[in-house]
Amino acid sequence: MLYRFKSQATGDVVMFEINARQLLDIIGKAPDKQGIITVAQMPAAIAALEAAVKEETQARKLLPPGSALAVSTPGSQEDDDPQAERERVALFQRAAPLIGMLKRALAEKRDVVWGV
C-alpha cells in the first residue's frame, strides 16, 4: 500500500506503507488510512523527524562498514526483505521529502493530510 501526503502548499509526497508508518510513528501519529498534521502540530513533527534523522546519522557513523545499518549492494539476498530495505535506506532519505513538505506547509499555514 502507498501513502499519499497532500497539502495545498506543495505537491504530493508518496511513499511505501512501511516507510510512512515509521515516519508517522516518529511524529506521534497513528498510521491510519486517513489523517492530518495540523499547522499547530507541524513544528513538533519537524523537530521529531529532524531529531530522529540526527540520531540515526550519528549511529551510522559509529558502525563499521558492512554492519546492519550500512548500505548494502543491489542484488543481494536482502533485496526481498523489507526490514533489510529499511536498514539499507537511511532515514534522512525517507524523511527528507516529508520534512520539506511540512516546512513549506507550515510557512504557508496549510495542513498536511493523507488518505483523502
* Segments making up each domain of the chain, as ranges: 2-61+78-114
- Strand ranges (E), the chain: 2-7, 10-16, 35-37, 112-114
Residue 76 has pLDDT above 60, yes or no: no
Confidence at 81, pLDDT banded by 50, 70, 90: low
| 114: phi then psi, degrees, rounded to nearest 5 | -140, 150
Answer whether 108's CB lies under 8 Å from 89's CB. Answer: no
Span 13-24, pLDDT tens digits: 999 999 999 999
Residue 86 has pLDDT above 70, yes or no: no
